[in-house]
């Protein structure tokens, strides 16, 4: 039993706490991004900031830390350290004529 529970006769709420190392999506300001850029960045939640009401987030792809309050959490998800999670999409169009050339490779 915690002291607060003994005093108030009810358990304290812990709904505001987040899962450590969960995937989070931080909002990117309109001034920083261009029209076709993503509105959020995928990062890892590493803790709470002591000087403000923000969350500490780490981006392993860029290797930098960020403190922000505009964050959405995916507490069931975990970062896959084996795969490079930079979300770049490279599309290659292969036509029927080119398929025969690439079959040997």
Q: What strands, in cross-sheet order, belong to the sheet with 71-78?
A: 64-68, 55-59, 40-48, 22-27, 71-78
pLDDT tens-digit readout, 8-59: 999 888 888 888 888 999 999 999 999 999 999 999 999 999 999 999 999 9
Alpha carbons 24 and 8: distance in angstroms, whole number: 34
3-state helix, strand, coil split of the chain in percent (to 5) is 10, 30, 55
The residues spanned by each domain of the chain are 17-79
Query: pTM of the full predicted structure?
Result: 0.67
Residue 95 has pLDDT above 70, yes or no: no
Residue of 60, 66, 64, 61 lying closest to 27 (CA atoms): 66
Fold classification of 17-79 is: SH3 type barrels. (2.30.30)
Confidence of residue 2 (pLDDT cuts 50, 70, 90): confident
Which residues sit opposite 73 in a β-bridge?
24
């Amino acid at each position: 039993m915690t002291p607060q529970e003994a005093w108030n006769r009810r358990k304290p709420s812990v709904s505001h706490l987040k899962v450590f190392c969960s995937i989070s999506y931080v909002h990117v300001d309109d001034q920083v991004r261009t029209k076709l850029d993503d509105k959020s960045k995928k990062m890892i939640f590493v803790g709470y900031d002591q000087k403000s009401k923000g969350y500490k987030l780490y981006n392993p792809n860029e290797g930098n830390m960020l403190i922000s309050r505009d964050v959405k959490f995916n507490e069931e998800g975990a970062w896959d350290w084996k795969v490079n999670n930079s979300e770049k999409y490279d599309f290659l169009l292969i036509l029927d004529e080119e398929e025969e050339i690439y079959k040997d490779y």
